[in-house]
Chains A and B, each alone.
Chain A
Amino acid sequence: MSHASVRWESSLLVALWAAIILVTVVMSQRGKKYYIRRIPGLNAIDEALGRATEMGRPILMVPGLTDINESVAPLQALSIFSYIVKASAKFGNRILLPCAKPAIYTVAQEVVRDSYAAAGRPELYAPDSVRFISDRQFAFAAGVSGLIYREQVAASFLFGDFYAESLIFAETGQQVGAIQVAGTVQTTQIPFFIASCDYTIIGDEFYAATAYISRDPTLLGSLVGQDISKILALVIIVIGTICMTIPALGGVNSFFVQWFKF
């Protein structure tokens, strides 16, 4: 059963989080400068681009397996890919962007075309650089693996939601000697990326990376708002823990703990 539907208190907390994020987004859009710390894995993106240029081989970008109406991760991935496409346009690197979902394929085409135009090299856009492979997980995995082998990609960027196919992509990339940077919020797949990629952006770092790279005031403001929300959640947890620890405060029957009960 939906928590938000049965407990109005839940909606209140979510509304508070949303309000915090909205305030920081508006402040950022009005010119407030926010600091975002550098994510170490991001340096690797430029390194990988340099390597692809030296080798004259293509760059592979995979936006994961989820669709536009399932997760925000593929859109965040496309935002990072936009940065990569703009950077690669300077050196004329060929790019490959295989998609697993029709809607993502449509958005990816737009993003790549716009990125080349923004970089002042619209003629570099090749329609077949963005491809729809298959929406079936392992058909997609087989198709992308074949692509990695045949094209002998020099750099591989795996950003988005990945599942069991993550290791197939990363291992295949490793076999052709590609420098690989991956980022996902899927906890079960992060270990595979850590084991087989050169750099891995872990969990929430993925969202921060998008804000850091794009410097978009909306994303920067949103990230700061999320940080404040995390601190708020931490404060709630500490108060809840204190209530549970000190019997005089009521323990599990205290008002505070009961307020959050599902």
Chain B
Amino acid sequence: MVWTTTLGVWVGAIGTLALFSLIYRENRFYRLFEHLFIGLAAGFLIKSTWDETLYPQWWTPMVKDGQWPWILALGLGGLFYTIYSKKHSWMSRISIGVLLGLLSGQIFQTTANEFIPQIQRSFKPLVVQAADIPQGSQLTQLGMSLNNILFMVILVCVITYFLFSFEHKNKVITGSARTGRLMLMFAFGAIFGSTVMARMALLIDRVWFLMHTWLGLG
């Protein structure tokens, strides 16, 4: 093994143990690696911002492709630094306003992309015909119908729960909202379980790194 690889493995192993040490308590070992981690991330941020954003998307079009109006972006970005001057800090709001304007414009498109397909996919027959069952599927008409009815009930109940502009006093509304909340909790339980499994995979990866790559066991 090349000595740089060995060094990398040792740094990785010590860093992993240092960050894991927080499980016991906050300590100097953790603090050292926490700051090292943040420092490295700051350096990485500068490098990646230049390599992945500024150079290909700003510098190259401006200098090499002659798209000189990109110089205006420098002024707009520079206005953020006026935050450090009490007298000129108001100018930073110009840049913030431009970013917010861009976000608002994008949201129109995002809304169409996100919600309209969701609405379309919610159109499900409550009484499933034999022709609606996908070929080769083990599902029955009754099973699919019950599934679609359950889907519709949960959808209505959850949307009712997320209506805020009127008081939930009516018994039907209260019952629907409560059922919606209950259904959400079921869904969150399922998400919790599956996400925890994914996190376990991350832990196993780290333990494997320590045991196998670092200590050479197994």
Chain A residues proximal to chain B, CB less than 8 Å: 2-5, 7, 10-11, 13-14, 17-18, 34-37, 39, 68-72, 75, 102-103, 106-107, 109-110, 133-136, 138-140, 142-143, 145-146, 149-150, 164, 167, 172, 187-188, 190-192, 194-195, 202-205, 208, 211, 223-224, 227, 230-231, 233-234, 236-237, 240-241, 243-245, 247, 251, 257, 260-262
Contacts and interface: CB of A to CB of B under 8 A. Distances in A.
Contact of B30 (A18, A146, A194, A243): A146
Interface stretch (B6-14, B64-72, B186-194): B186-194
Nearest to A127: B84
Chain A interface main SS type: helix
Interface of B: 19, 22, 25-26, 30-31, 33-34, 37-38, 40-42, 44-45, 80, 83, 89, 92-93, 96, 99-100, 102-103, 106-109, 111-113, 115-117, 119-120, 122-127, 129, 152, 155-156, 159, 162-168, 184-185, 188-189, 191-192, 195, 199
A34 B165 contact: yes
A3 B45 contact: no
A247 to B, nearest CB: 7
Contact of A134 (B41, B93, B163): B41
B108 A245 contact: no
Contact of A142 (B38, B103, B126): B38
Contacts of B155: 234, 237
A69 B126 CA distance: 41
21 contacts: A2-B112, A3-B112, A4-B109, A14-B111, A17-B111, A35-B165, A68-B100, A110-B89, A134-B38, A136-B45, A142-B33, A142-B34, A164-B199, A204-B162, A204-B164, A208-B164, A224-B165, A233-B119, A237-B119, A244-B123, A245-B125
Nearest to B42: A134
Contacts of A14: 108, 111-112, 116
Contacts of B192: 191-192, 195
B165 A241 contact: no
Contacts of A191: 188-189, 191-192, 195
Contact of B162 (A133, A142, A205, A261): A205
Nearest to A152: B26
Contact of B191 (A72, A187, A205): A187
Contact of B112 (A4, A37, A241, A245): A4
A14 B83 CA distance: 36
Nearest to B188: A191
B45 A68 contact: no
A49 B83 CA distance: 29
Given A17-B111, A260-B123, A262-B120, A135 B45 contact: yes
B119 A133 contact: no
A251 B125 CA distance: 8
Contacts of A69: 99, 102-103, 106
A186 to B, nearest CB: 10
A224 B165 CA distance: 6
A203 B86 CA distance: 37
A260 B112 CA distance: 11
A32 to B, nearest CB: 12
B123 A243 contact: yes
Given A2-B113, A35-B167, A68 B96 contact: yes
Contacts of B102: 69
Nearest to A68: B99
B165 A145 contact: no
A236 B122 CA distance: 10
Contacts of A205: 162, 164
Contacts of A34: 165
Contacts of A70: 103
Given A11-B112, A14-B112, A37-B168, 20 more contacts: A7-B112, A13-B112, A71-B103, A106-B80, A106-B83, A135-B45, A136-B41, A139-B38, A142-B33, A145-B22, A146-B26, A150-B26, A164-B199, A190-B191, A192-B195, A233-B159, A236-B119, A237-B123, A240-B119, A244-B126
